[in-house]
Amino acid sequence: MKKTLANSLTARLGVAGAIASATLFALPASAQDRLSLADRVSRLEQQAQASAGSTSLVNQVSDLQQQVSQLQGQIEELQHQNKQLQDSQKAQYADVDSRLSRLEKAGASAPAAAAAPAAAAATASAQGAAPAPTDSAPAAAPASASSSPGQASPAEQTAYDAAFKSLRGGDYVTASRGFREFLTKYPDSPLAPNAYYWLGESYYVTMNYPVAIEAFQRLVKNYPQSEKVSDGLLKVGYCQIELKQQDAAVATLKQVIAKYPSSKAAGLAQERLRRLQRQSAN
């Protein structure tokens, strides 16, 4: 009887131990499942944040690429404008150099022509013959100095030549200052039309078009009989082109052709009009 009770108690204790053991081992597994779920949620949140960060980064990169593309377009446009300015400046320098070269050649030929009668007189005297009559009037000023009627005084000629020498040497700032001072001091000089023209050129070459056009317009308005008027009016049209005043420029160039049809300025005006038409067509 005692043995039976002992066995029964032992069996119950074994069952209880088994249940306790099962309960003991079951608790950590449940806790582990809960921790794993929390980790998974945390991991998903981190992934979502990383995904959102990646999307933001992609958007930022896209914006930067768009900005770079826009900057590249602006750079290309600036490069194109710079090339146009360089081409325009080269053409202006070439035009001024060409005009100065022609004036220098004309000025060099004038002394030689004036010396011919003197040489003939000297030859005749050496041969015992009476010298041929010569013109007693003073020799005309070189073309580089004046193409206007009348004779400038020595002081006027000296001041004009100094400004013109600076222009020929490429010192356009000194040249413009010299021509302005000349016009202030000698407004009625026969060299005034030329001074206004070269004053305008000194500003035109340095792309100071508003001031250049003012000088050329004063030449055209104040000295309508001057030989420089056709060239001055042509340069008014050139300045208007550079200032993007296309309609006014076309009208001015047509005026040059109509008023001075046989002049070189008219030929240049026709060529410039053709260029403007080609540009408009493109």
Instruction: Say if pTM beats, i.e. exceeds, 0.85.
Output: no
In whole angstroms, what is the distance from residue 243 CA to residue 106 CA? 33
Separation in Å, CA 261 to CA 181, 217, 256: 34, 20, 7
In the chain, the percentage of residues whose pLDDT exceeds 70 is: 54
Predicted confidence (pLDDT) at residue 238 exceeds the cutoff of 70: yes
In whole angstroms, what is the distance from residue 58 CA to residue 103 CA? 67
Task: For 36-70, write each residue's pLDDT tens digit.
Answer: 777 777 777 777 777 766 676 767 776 676 666 56
């449940």: which residue's tokens?
Answer: 30
Q: Does domain 152-281 have CATH number 1.25.40.10?
A: yes
Do residues 162 and 186 touch, judged by C-beta distance below 8 A?
Answer: no
Q: Kindly state the average pLDDT of the residues 237-256.
A: 96
Q: What angle do CA 23, 25, 26 make, to 5 degrees?
A: 60
pLDDT for res 34: 58
Q: Kindly state the average pLDDT of the residues 251-271.
A: 95
In whole angstroms, what is the distance from residue 167 CA to residue 204 CA? 12
Task: For 133-188, write each residue's pLDDT tens digit.
Answer: 322 222 223 333 344 457 899 999 999 999 999 999 999 999 999 999 999 999 99
Mean pLDDT of the chain: 72
In whole angstroms, what is the distance from residue 114 CA to residue 141 CA? 11
Give the residue extent of every domain in the chain: 152-281
Q: Kindly state the average pLDDT of the residues 85-98.
A: 52
- pLDDT-derived band at 33, boundaries 50, 70, 90: low
pLDDT for res 32: 53
